[in-house]
Amino acid sequence: MGKIVVYCQPGAKQTQLAGMHDGKPKIQLKVPPVDGAANKALVSFLAERLRTPKSSIRIMQGASGRIKRLEVDDLTDEILHARLQPENQS
């Protein structure tokens, strides 16, 4: 099981990985932070990006904040960090 911390920005123009913020992957989410919609959008985006089922992703801390600590089944920390690197970084 891998663990990662991400920074989320809800209410953005589009859902995307937008670089890094204080050493954490910054994920912009198109949906607003209302009734858990941003958390659902985050899990959906991560499932697609990490190529893993949504059911294997859990928000462990920060459900109501911008900084979220997540656990992902069947992926190592190294794989998580590699798949959440912005494309323009080497």
Tokens 């911008």 belong to residue: 66
Q: Which CATH architecture has domain 2-83?
A: 2-Layer Sandwich (3.30)
* Mean pLDDT calculated for residue range 53-82: 95
pTM for the model stands at 0.91
- Tens digit of each residue's pLDDT (9 = 90 or more) over 20-49: 999 999 999 999 989 999 999 999 999 999
pLDDT over 70 percentage in the chain: 97
Select from 41, 14, 19 the least CA-distant residue to 30.
Answer: 14
- Judge contact between 72 and 80, C-beta under 8 A: yes
- Give the residue extent of every domain in the chain: 2-83
Say how many residues make up the chain: 90
